[in-house]
């Protein structure tokens, strides 16, 4: 059997069936029903944040978080090209211009030392990305944003459950977006959320995701359809009961990889910064000066039925659809895109499979 780069975590079949049983009685399948409402409350408690607004997926969560501020068309948003393309799409689909800032080589997040030089009179926001569960320099970013009057909207798709000095990732910036895609540490099949401390945005975000509708005969703003349905929410309710156990199993997988790969020269591993409680979302390996290149390792694993991923490659600024956009010099991001490989990482990955993967790399 091939070993995939990830595998969705799921509750027991009977547990999920019991959770959705009442939907057959109510026939209420969407439109922010009881499961949707319960999951929002459960997540507010788990993430220790005042407000959670659910969406059908993480991309629409981020797109609507940006849309909430109604920035003038053509305004500039500082972000990173070392991310999944959804981040950049969410900015551009709001009529805004992405300004690409390099990342740092320590934790692969946006380089806070390089943000300020990119700020112009058109800059309205910063959209940093927490990468592989590593958190950005939130203190420095907030200080810069406050001094220049900018909004900070975090792409926290990789950071579910991560904490910095005991503070959950959902509490940084003006808003944080989480993805609950099937490949994530925590999933609702598809899904996402926007989290924030102040109560103000809740009604507007709910309007944006529901056609702008505020009542039976009222439509207060132009919106789309990005509601999470009841079956997604039910999966989220079940998975939330088990997520801590899932993260503990992922920790074991990461530590097992560390023991194998830490012995090899020319390989750099992801290290958790001091004060961070990680979620072990991914297992990235940087092939710095290894005897094989990243691409050679990728092909060798694939020949043996092991599906790793060049994540993130290419940089979003290099995609064809962004050919007409200005590209800043981002050497660190470009280096990482050429040298990082994420190895299979999921809760039920066996020690035997990890041994096989590492033996192939080390042969």
CATH number, domain with residue 125: 3.40.640.10
Are residues 230 and 250 part of one domain?
A: no
Are residues 255 and 233 part of one domain?
A: no
pLDDT along the chain (363 residues), means of 10: 94 98 96 97 98 98 98 98 98 98 96 98 98 98 98 98 98 98 97 95 97 94 96 98 98 98 95 95 97 97 97 96 92 98 97 97 91
Of 238, 259, 279, the residue at which a domain comes to its end is: 238
Q: How far apart are CA 166 and CA 304, in angstroms?
A: 41
CB-CB contact of 328 with 118 (8 Å): yes
Question: For residue 363, what pLDDT is reported?
Answer: 84
For tokens 């910095």, the residue is 164
Question: For residue 308, what pLDDT is reported?
Answer: 98
Are residues 174 and 28 part of one domain?
A: yes
Question: For residue 1, what pLDDT is reported?
Answer: 81
DSSP letters for 310-337: -TT-S-GGGSGGGTTS-----HHHHHHH
The CATH number that applies at residue 308 is 3.90.1150.10
Of 208, 238, 268, the residue at which a domain comes to its end is: 238
CB atoms within 10 A of CB 102: 23
Question: For residue 97, what pLDDT is reported?
Answer: 98
Are residues 112 and 39 part of one domain?
A: yes
126 is a domain residue: yes
Domain that holds residue 272: 243-362
Question: For residue 327, what pLDDT is reported?
Answer: 86
Are residues 23 and 56 part of one domain?
A: yes
Q: How far apart are CA 184 and CA 190, in angstroms?
A: 10
Dihedral sign, Cα of residue 335, residue 145, residue 143, residue 90: negative
Contacts of 214 (CB under 8 A, 6+ apart): 203, 207, 220
175 is a domain residue: yes
SS3 string of 229-247? CHHHHHHHHHHHHHHHHHH
CB-CB contact of 76 with 215 (8 Å): no
105 is a domain residue: yes
Name the helix (H) or strand (E) containing 218. Answer: strand 218-219
Q: Could you give the number of structural domains in the chain?
A: 2
pTM of the model: 0.97
């Amino acid at each position: 059997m091939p070993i995939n780069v990830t595998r969705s975590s799921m509750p027991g079949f009977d547990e999920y069936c019991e959770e959705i049983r009442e939907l057959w009685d109510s026939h209420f399948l969407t439109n922010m029903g009881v499961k949707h409402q319960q999951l929002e409350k459960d997540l507010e408690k788990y993430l220790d944040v005042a407000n959670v607004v659910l969406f059908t997926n993480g991309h629409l969560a981020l797109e609507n978080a940006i849309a909430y501020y109604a920035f003038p068309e053509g305004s500039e948003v500082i972000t990173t090209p070392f991310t999944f393309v959804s981040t950049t799409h969410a900015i551009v689909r709001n009529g805004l211009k992405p300004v690409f800032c390099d990342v740092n080589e320590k934790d692969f997040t946006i380089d806070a030392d390089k943000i300020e030089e990119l700020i112009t009179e058109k800059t309205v926001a910063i959209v940093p990305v927490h990468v592989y569960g590593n958190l950005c320099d939130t203190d420095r970013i907030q200080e810069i944003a406050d001094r220049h009057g900018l909004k900070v909207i975090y792409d926290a798709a990789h950071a579910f459950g991560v904490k910095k000095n005991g503070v959950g990732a959902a509490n940084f910036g003006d808003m944080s977006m989480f993805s609950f895609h099937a490949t994530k540490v925590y999933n609702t099949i598809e899904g996402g959320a926007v989290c924030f401390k102040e109560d103000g945005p809740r009604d507007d975000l709910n309007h944006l995701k529901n056609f702008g509708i505020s009542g039976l005969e009222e439509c207060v703003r132009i919106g789309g359809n990005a509601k999470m349905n009841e079956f997604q929410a039910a999966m989220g309710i079940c998975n939330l009961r088990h997520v801590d156990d899932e993260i503990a199993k992922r920790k074991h997988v990461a530590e097992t990889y560390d023991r194998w790969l830490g012995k090899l020269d020319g390989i750099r591993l992801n290290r958790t910064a001091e004060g961070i409680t990680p979620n072990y979302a991914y297992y990235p390996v940087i092939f710095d000066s290894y005897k094989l290149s990243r691409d050679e390792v990728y092909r060798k694993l694939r020949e043996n039925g092991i599906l790793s991923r060049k994540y993130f490659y290419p940089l979003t600024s290099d995609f064809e659809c962004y050919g007409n956009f200005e590209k800043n010099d981002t050497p660190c991001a470009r280096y990482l895109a050429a040298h990082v490989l994420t190895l299979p990482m999921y809760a039920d990955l066996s020690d035997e499979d990890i041994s096989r993967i590492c033996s192939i790399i080390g042969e």
